[in-house]
Amino acid sequence: MCDIMPHMSEQATEHLIIPRHVAFIMDGNGRWAKKRGLPRSAGHKAACERLKDVFLAVKEYGIPYASLYAFSTENWNRPQKEINLLMGYLMDFCERDFPHLAKEGVRLLHSGRRDRLPSKTLLSLDKAVNSSKDNSALIVNVCLDYGGRDELANAAKRYGEDLLAGKVKLEEMNEETLRHYLYHPELPDVDLLIRTSGEERISNFLLYELAYAELYFTPTYWPDFGKEELGKALEAYQHRNRRFGRVSA
């Protein structure tokens, strides 16, 4: 067991309830940079450099699935220069940092649109995805040009196409049928959502998958988020009473 919770006893850490799927909204990069008198781009660079350590900590805890909100469908409204730099930093992560994660058994998936991503970024992303397809120690779902509503609209469109083609029947449509049309239906629902920077909203992230997730908000900016902060989130998760609509025993 890693030392993310140094204040907890060894006996306590042995009985931790570990979530299967943790999702991250990495927020506060610009404010982190501003606080240090740096340009916003420095915050985004620091954020991408933080990814490897966070995912290694996630793996060390035995969490099998993680999702990361890297770039939303609404983020295209930002200045083009900032977008270009951010895409470059994400490409650096895929080419420089991810090979180390792949050696640790980490597999990369991508959720989101592909048609608007820069060709170089998409090439680096696809290379990381394909090179790690046989790994299973930790599945990392990078949500890039992703929106929860966009995912559901895309799922509805694909279902409609299959309905018109006679591949499915209208009366067979239900919640689980819809899941099959998501970007990665094999991923389990999110158990714990962690958002950094103090903001308390889900911002159109994994709307279907977050239906019964526990929400954890921390004032820590993402570039400062690491093992210790992840440990605090997991400790808070231990005290959540997850009833899923049922009555507590």
Active site residue ranges: 27, 75
Residue with tokens 């690491």: 226
Which one, of 22, 47, 4, 56, lies nearest residue 221 by Cα? 47
How many other β-carbons are positioned within 10 Å of the β-carbon of residue 189? 16
Which one, of 71, 75, 195, lies nearest residue 144 by Cα? 71
DSSP 108: E
* Residue 83 CB contacts under 8 Å (≥ 6 apart), including other chains: 75, 76
Cα three-residue angle 142-157-123, rounded to 5 degrees? 35
